[in-house]
Every structure is written in C-alpha cells, then in structure tokens.
Amino acid sequence: MAFWRRNSHIEKERHVKANAWDYNAKFCYADNHIKTSKYNIFTFLPINLFEQFQRVANGYFLVLLILQLIPEISSLSWFTTIVPLVLVLLVTAVKDATDDYFRHKSDQQVNNRQSQVLIRGSLQNEKWMNVRVGDIIKLENNQFVAADILLLCSSEPYGLCYIETAELDGETNLKVRQALTVTSDLGDITKLMNFDGEVICEPPNNKLDKFTGTLYWRDNKYPLDNDNMLLRGCVLRNTEWCFGMVIFAGLQTKLMQNCGRTTFKRTSIDKLMNTLVLWIFAFLICMGVVLAIGNTVWESWIGRNFQVFLPWDESQRSAVFSGFLAFWSYIIILNTVVPISLYVSVEVLRLGHSYFINWDRKMYHSQTDTAAEARTTTLNEELGQVEFIFSDKTGTLTQNIMVFRKCSIDGRTYGDVYNEFDQKVEITEKTACVDFSFNPLCDRRFRFYDSTLVEAIKLEDPAVQEFFRLLALCHTVMPEEKSEGHLVYQAQSPDEGALVNAARNFGFVFRARTPETITLCEMGQAVTYQLLAILDFNNVRKRMSVIVRNPQGQIKLYSKGADTVIFDRLDPSSEDLMYTTSEHLSEFAGEGLRTLALAYKDLDEDDFEIWMKKLLFASTVIENREDQLGALYEEIEQGLKLLGATAIEDKLQEGVAETIACLNLADIKIWVLTGDKLETAMNIGYSCNMLRDDMNEVFVVSGHTLQEVQQQLRSAKEHILGLSRVGSAGDVEKTDMFLHDSVFEETIIAEYALVINGHSLAHALEPLLEHILLDVACLCKTVICCRVTPMQKAQVVELVKRHKRAITLAIGDGANDVSMIKTAHIGVGISGQEGTQAVLASDYSFAQFRYLQRLLLVHGRWSYFRMCNFLCYFFYKNFAFTLVHFWYGFFCGFSAQTVYDQWFITLFNIVYTSLPVLAMGLFDQDVDDRTSLRYPGLYKPGQQNLLFNKRLFFLCTLQGMGTSFLLFFIPYGAFSVMVKEDQQAFAVTIATSLVIVVSVQIGLDKHYWTAVNHLFIWGSVTVYFAILFAMQSNGMFGILPSNFPFVGTARSCLSEQSVWLVILLTTVVCVVPGLAVSFLRVDLFPTLTDKVRHLQQSRKREGPQGQNLRRVRRTSSRRSAYAFSHQQGYGELITSGKNMRASAVSSAHSPGRTPHSSNWIENMLKRKNEVSCISDESGDRAKNRLPSSSTEPELH
C-alpha cells in the first residue's frame, strides 16, 4: 500500500501548552530527533540478512549448503558453496552498512545543530534533538527553523518576519509570516516565561500550505493559519530575531511528513532474475529426476552385476533409494547453473557503474562545485529503461530568476541589437551591454544590450520616463538599503523584482516607502509621491494599480497587468497604439517571454475624492466586501492611456529545451507536476517547447466537480480518438481499426497536450476517473499538472506505475517533491542552492536538469546494455560448464561422479572466468557517449526490454546446452578413437576446451576493446594453465597429497598434439555456429544499433561533430498573463504600514488549429518520421514511408 494511504496518526487534534513540559509530556508527542537511517548496531545483522534472503537465489544457495553437509549425498565439498555465499552476503552487507553510515552521519549533523531554548527564565543552547513540543525557541537571522513553530513575536514591527522556503518548495523568493497581534509584543524574556497560551490544532500532516488551529489565552481564543507558522526547513531572512512556540517536532513536522516511507527499490532485471532462478531451479529438478531415474534403472539392470567389488552402502537399501540419493547428489553437482558468483559480479558491476556516474566530469557543475552523485548502487540499469519522467518546475526546469529583456514604449520596441546594415544580430555573451555608469545606484549585475533606450532616457523622452516611473511606483516590493547606495529589493514575486530592478537601472530608482509615501530617485533627483491607494492584484483582476499624487499635485493612476484586461479598459485615443503594441506583444510571446501591458490615467481631484469615500465605505462593510471593492476598482480603471509593454524572460535552466527535445526523441514522456498556477506552468511549457502552437489541441481540464472533470476528460478523449472521423462516413470504422496500432498512437502523442489543475486532479484521481485520466494523458505528448500537492504528485506517479507497468523517474528539488521521488522507480534530486531535502531522498543527484539527458541516454543506456550482455553471457557460460555433468551421467552409471576435479569447479567462476566477464560488464559499449546523445533512438530497446528478457534467456541457455553437448561428445568421440581411457586426461581436455571456448566467445561478444579487456581475457587463460600445472605438480602433491592426487596429468595430457587438435576442433565447432548467426543477423536484420555502429565506423577519420539538436525558439501567439506567482493581499499589508521597517487558460480547452486531411494515415506516417531520428524499420513498411526530415543521415 502506498505510504500516503497509511494512517499513522492516532491523534484527532493536538493540544500544546507553552512552558508546560509536564502537561505536554502526557501526550507522548515525538521529540525533535530525526532518523532517516534503516539500521542500528543491534538490528543491522538480522534485518540485513532478512532483506538479503528475500532474494530467491540466496535462499537457494543456503539450501544447497545444507545439502552439501550431508555426507551420503554430497559429491562436492561444502567450501565450494559456503565461501562464495559468505562472500556475497558480506559484500552486500558492507555496501548497505556504508550507505546507512552516511545516513546516520547526515542525521547526526542535523540533530546536533544548536538552537536557543527558553529554559527556567533564560535562553540556553540546546541541540535540535532535545527541543520538545511546547518549548519557546529563539531564531536569529539566517538560521534554519528547528521545528514547526507558531510565531509569537519578532524584531520587526507588528510581529512580521521574512522566510525563505527553498528547502520546502525550491522557491528562493522571500515570504512573509506574521505573529498574532496579541503576542507580537512578547519580545521580553520575562513576558515569554509568563506566556501560558494553549494551542489546539490539527494533527501532524504533510500539507505544507495549510494549518488550522486556535490559540486560547487570557480567556480569549484567536484563529491560527499558515501565515502564523514557521515550518522546519525554512530559513529566517532579513529579520534580526524572532520567538516561536514548538507545535510539531521531529518526524511529525510537515517537512518530515512529506519525506514519506523509505522503500526498498528493486530493478525490473532483479525481479526477472527471481523468476528465472525459479525456472532454473525447476529445470535443475527435472535434470535431477531424469538422472535419478537413470540411476535407479542402471542399478536395477546393470549395477547388481558389480556388487562383488562395488557393494552398496549400508544405508543404500534398494535401487530406488539409490536413485533418491543420486537425485540430491546431482542437485548439488548441477547447482552451478546459477552460481552465487553471479550475484557477487552483479553487485560489483553496479558499484562500478555508480562510480562512473560520480566521476563523469561532463555532469559536474563548476558554478556550484557540484558533481553528479549516485546515491544508490542498485538501480543503474533501470536508468536505461525509463518511459515516464515526472518533473517539478520551479528550481528544476527553471532557475526561478526573471530577467528584463525587452519592452515596447509608445509603439517602438527596445531590446534587440542591430548591426551597421540595420540587421538584427543574435545576442551572445560577447555582445557589449549598455553602460549604466551614468547611474550610481544601478545594479551592476543587470544586463541590457539596446543602447537606444538609455539614449531615450537621457533625452528625457516623456513616454519613456513615464514608462519607467510606472514600473518604479506600481508594485508591492520592499526596499532595504544595507549601506549607502547598496539597495536590496525584497519582492514577493520574482516578476515584480525584475521590473523594479529594470526601472532602477534606467534611472528611476525605488529608494523607500512608508504607508503613505513612495520615494524615488529620478535621474539623480529624489522625488516623493504620496501613496493614495493600492488596487491590489488577484487572479480575477489579473492587474494591479496604484494611485499617487506627484510633487506637482497631480493625481495619477498607474496600472500594469495582462494585456487582455488592460486593452479592454483603454481610452479610444490609444486604439492605434494598442494595435501596434499588440503586434509587439505577439513577437515577445513568440520568443517565450512573459509580457505585461502598462497604462496610466490622470484623475480629477473632485472625482477622486468621491471615489475615495466610496472606497472607505466599502472597506468597512462585512458582507460582499470583495465584490464591492472589485466594482470600485473597475470603475476607476477605465479610460486608461497605454504606455507600452514589458517582456520578461523566466529563465530556464541551461539546456532544458534541448534536453526535453532529446528525451522526447528517445520516446520518454515528460510530465510536469508543479504547485504553480496554471498560467505559469503553461508559459514554461511554451518556453521549453513542451507546448507548441502547431499542436492540434491543448486540453485544459479545470472542472470543480467530479462530473465536470469527467465530461472534460471524455470530451478530450473523444476529440483525440475522433481524428479518423473527419474524412468520410466510411472512415468511422478506421478508428477502432487503428486505435491500438502503435503508429496511430505515436501520431496522436505528437499532436496533443493535457493541462490539468490541482482541484480537478483530485477528482480525476478518484477510482471512477483514474483510468480515463491515464488514457487521455498517455494519448497526449505533453502533460502538465499544476497547483498539485505533494501527495497528488506521488499519486500521479503511483497511477502510472500501477497501470502502465512502465519504469518511472521523478525529478525535483524541494521537500514538496520528496514523496514523488520516493514513489517513482528512480528518484533524482536537483542539488545546489535550492535546498537539500530532495537530494537526501533521491537515488541520484546533480546540479542541473540538463544532466538528466546524459544520465539516461549515456550512463543509463550503457548500464542496461552492459548488464544485459553480462547476464546473457553468464548464463551461457554456466550452462556450458554445468551441463557437461549431465551428459557424463549417462556414461558413469549415473553415479553423480563429476567430470572436472573439485578445484576446477570451485575456481571456474571465481578465478578463471570472473575478470573477463567483469571487464565486459564494466567497460563494454556499443557506441560512444557522443553517438548515444546524437541518436536518442538507441535508448528505445531498453524501454522494450529487448536486450534481456525471457526469450533471450532461453536462447542463451540453449546455446549453452549446445556448447556443453559439443564440449563433452567431441572429446569423448576423439578419446574413443584414440583408445585413451585416462579419465583425468579426459577431464583436463574438456576443462581446457571450456576455458578457451568461453574466452573466445566473450572476445567475439565484445563491442569495445580496451587494454583491460585484453589483459583480463588472455590473462585469465594464462592463469588457468598456471594453476592447472601447479595443482598437478609434484610440489603440491608433496604438501597436500589428499587434495592434489593427480600428479603430472596436465603435463602428460597437454604435451600430446592430438589433445590440442581435439581442443582446437572443439573450440571451432562451438564458436563458428554462433559467429555465423551473428553475421547473418547483422547483415539481414540489422538493428538501429548495428546501423549506427556502421555509420560510426565510417566516420572514424572525420573530426568530432556536435549534436544537431539546436535550440528552437518557439513561435507562439499565446500571451503571458501578469505576475503569475504574485499573491493577493500585499497591497493591504503595505498600506497598513505593518512591514515598513524591514524588507520583506480557458476552462475547457484552448483554441487551436486542427489540420485535417482525407489521406490521414499518410500524414500520420509522415509525422512519425519527423519525430524519429533514424528509421529502424525495414521491408515493405520502410518502402511505404515518406523521406525523413531528420537532420541526421537516414540509415538503410
């Protein structure tokens, strides 16, 4: 059951009393100690062994070990099993212990942080883990909040404080919290000691944006909400100090509640291996039964004749009982079809692959000094099989940084750069930026490249000056002047900060504000405006306005907002300018910039006085206050005069658009799950080309009831599946015919997008609608879920995991992404300045989203490719090695005698063949990293499980069985002809043939030769001969005669030319058929990898080439709405003076073009080719295709 469905809370409501430890102790609330580790010194051994024996193979080997301890049935010494079993358990335990040690270390570091706690009338330093519910603690500027606390008072007026919530949601812009008025003056230690208020509130939960409670104090009760709370993980900013009362501590804080339960993740190959081990065990039993029956028959018919010199043991009562004992003996002998060394090797390979990720310098981010980190070693090959990526937006796709790029003022655009031929040139890092040295208060980090705008400012162009004056006045930003001229703006939305900063650099510097005034420095002159009213922003208005009186006594209204709402309120005299500005807005939006329209209005003194009286009256009414205020705002915001428009770039992280495009070509579906508003999420979707204007439709599901959501989803599904109905009446039947066709589905995916709101998603995730939601989402190329809670993120991931049975990857950077990261098969955390909670919960971490491309298409694909080839070869090798005993059973009276000596059986997998197969699993690669990125289609075999599956396992074992047959019968026939009856010479011949055959075979299977490969393969053959001659030497016989009885056998046998001819014949006959099949397959049925390898070899003499995936700037007519991250209520906060001291789409679906054609299937095939990088089809289907429009050469 998913972790969010587990009801771990027994309390219905929480009672917390300040400074009352005895009272709070009776509720047994959690302390502030956190624990993310799995083991301690006492539980490590039992829990770790329990986890390891959940692996079927480990239990299988334990049973074999027990059988080997029974003398009557054991043909092999017990050390042949116990040594490798202990080794694999030990290696895995050390790895798990190391991982858990680092978790302990991280926990200890957090638990030992210092906090100031009010104890017995004084502030004392206490470790975080000793903080208890009900304690009053003091926080100072730039300190982390130790627990979830109720803000009581602060150094700022009215109990305000500013916090950064990067650890929680990845956002770096500051947020305001405010203490209750009745507690805001408790700044004195004595008053705090006497504070005995009781809070009754909700029980612990994971809702980061909600809190409901009541404070009971002095016979009064006061409502509490999220604005009164400071959550663990936040950082206090721009506030000297504050005091708070601990409400939730430790694992019950909202931060830790969002971390969810740590689950043991296993790869699909691990799960397949468990199934295959059961198959092999069944096959082993079948072979044991056959040989046991053979033993019974042989003992009954032939064995009786030899009892004179081969008497039965006392325990051997009959032929049937002899067969029973032979069954268990053969189970022991043939157990090496699944050698325990396989699991040791798999762990070593995974560890090596993890280090390759850690060492990859192309995934190192120098600006933050952050390297990629594989935080787990068990999921590497799963990185090569991902089909769905679930990504957060803020801090993951974007930098959460807004930059002023362009503007339109009085019908003229600014921001582009032109050369001497009046041609627009691309702005690069080498482009010279505007010199703002004329302005001593400018921000040195600000970059603008069009000098004509500065010239217009210096020439005192009235329209340009009024434009920047509006930007400097119409906002809710709080300034902080840390030193003379060193201004820091605290903006509650990054949009506003970028606009005010732009005005600052162009000479209109916002310096200070009070509840009644705003002070600017206009071109070096201090100017103070009287602030008469702020008409605040909300989601319905999509604009904000301020009314000010300038030094000349004129009353002016300045307004900024979405162009659609501003244009509807313009004076007719601005009509021509509106059309011109509208064209500029389309250009800006086409480049992915967020746009705002700016307008102003001169107000008459008498009219304003009348309106102000109405406003004061409406502000005091109790019923319908918001509606009355909205009507008054609407009344005065009419007849505006247009000034122009701004264009802000919501900066994506570097390489986001290219990464998404590349991953789409690899058939990886990317869903964005974000807590941001719908408009913000859609805008970023357009910026990174996940949404495009050439899509047939962008469906927006925003219903508020289950029925509305159901209808919108059904309409979307019918619209998509109704594509074939546009031709003729006879075409209706084509819908059902092509509904499940892959070409049809891929074509649909390339045309549609789904955007769904959080409240709608809550209904869509109900059991009644979850299937239709998944159907519609999977038919769309892009899915964006906005305003989603952390729990909903996890539920969406779980929905896809449960019904699509596809490998999922979740990537995020904040605590609100932790549940999603833990629910997905693979969790990736973005490390850096945005917080560490996601990283601590993740399986992999790095600093930039763009590294995901390399993690999946290079490391993931290589890991999957290497692991699959390793497993195929390992099963082939061991079936070839083990089944020789099966054939030999028919010639030794089914007596469970082994062909090889025990030392060869023990060392074959550990020494003779271990290093070559490890080198193959660590270093082999079909194509290099640049080619892997150039051809994303190479990733698709992993998604389809083409490189290792039950069919390939069957073929590998069949090849191994055939090789074992030839390994036994060719030497057997040759020895019969040569009339050689030396069993040990026969064993040496087969063993030598086996080592050479498997060494040659791995050489043929390799795609990439290195010095290490040569050393390991040929070195292992050399080691085999060295050990063989050493163990059958006089010296070893003299030391341990009972263990090394076959003196000189190897020297005698291998000195004969006939034996070497037999070995050569065996090797050729075993290897050539597989070699021929491989050549024919590549020549007649080449895969995409074969084609790319051929192309790569033909280009070896050419210089290195960069990727052809270039950044494509979108062309969209969609406009950006105003300040999407802006929040309502800041205007009232400013005019109240409480924060003066410190800084602080459509409901159905958007219209789109739906190009229809009667020859619809041809269009589908054409679009399929446009998405593909390389065509990997052949035969008649390939002939029917239209030419590919890919930038890469088509491979035939």
Q: Is 841 exposed, middle or buried (0-12, 13-18, 19+ CB in 10 A)?
A: buried
Residue 481's beta-bridge partner residues?
487
Closest to 235 (Cα-Cα) out of 835, 1050, 1077, 1058: 835
The 3-state DSSP class for residue 467 equals helix
Closest to 749 (Cα-Cα) out of 667, 659, 811: 667
**Residue 868 is encoded by which pair of tokens?**
């699959």
The Cα–Cα gap between 303 and 308 comes to 10
DSSP strand pairing (641-652 vs 669-673): unpaired
Question: Which has the closest alpha carbon to 702: 672, 719, 669, 677?
Answer: 677
164 neighbors 172 (Cβ within 8 angstroms): yes
Distance CA 1095, CA 1097 (A): 5
Q: Which two tokens stand for residue 545?
A: 């306005």
Hey, which residues does 439 pair with through a beta bridge?
A: none
CB-based contacts of 417, cutoff 8 Å, min separation 6: 424, 425, 427, 431, 449, 450
Concerning whether 392 is annotated as a catalytic residue, the answer is yes
The full 3-state SS of 110-171, as one line of letters, equals HHCCEEEEEECCEEEEEEHHHCCCCCEEEEECCCECCCEEEEEEECCHHHEEEEECHHHHCC
Tokens of 1117: 């007519």
Q: Identify whether the C-beta of residue 440 lies closer than 8 Å to the C-beta of residue 446.
A: no
d(CA 1143, CA 1121): 26
Neighbours of 845 (CB within 10 A): 25
Closest Cα to residue 834, out of 847, 853, 824?
847
Give the integer Cα–Cα distance in Å for 779 and 773: 10
Give the CB-side neighbour count of residue 436, counting CA atoms within 13 A.
25
Instruction: Please report, for residues 67, 401, 489, 538, 894, the alpha-carbon distance to residue 598 in angstroms, rounded to integers and kept in the order given.
Output: 85, 22, 21, 17, 94
Residue 317 and residue 296 in contact, taking contact as beta carbons nearer than 8 Å? no
Q: Other CB atoms closer than 10 Å to residue 830's CB: what's the count? A: 29
DSSP 1055-1104: T-HHHHHHHHHHHHHHHHHHHHHHHHHHHHS--HHHHHHHHHHHTTTSPP
Query: Whole-angstrom Cα distance, residue 801 to residue 797?
Result: 6
Catalytic residue of the set 360, 392, 667, 926: 392
User: Position 885: which residue type?
Assistant: H
Give the span between the Cα atoms of 1078 and 21, in whole angstroms.
76
Instruction: Pull the structure tokens for residue 990.
Output: 């087969």
C-alpha span between 1131 and 529 (Å, rounded): 16
Between CA 740 and CA 723 the distance in angstroms is 14
Instruction: Phi first, then psi: give them for residue 452, nearest 5 degrees.
Output: -65, -25
Structure tokens at 756: 């769904």
How far is the C-alpha of 1182 from the C-alpha of 1175, rounded, in Å? 8
How far from chain centre, in Å, is Cα 954? 34
Q: Where in the sequence numbering do the catalytic residues fall?
A: 392
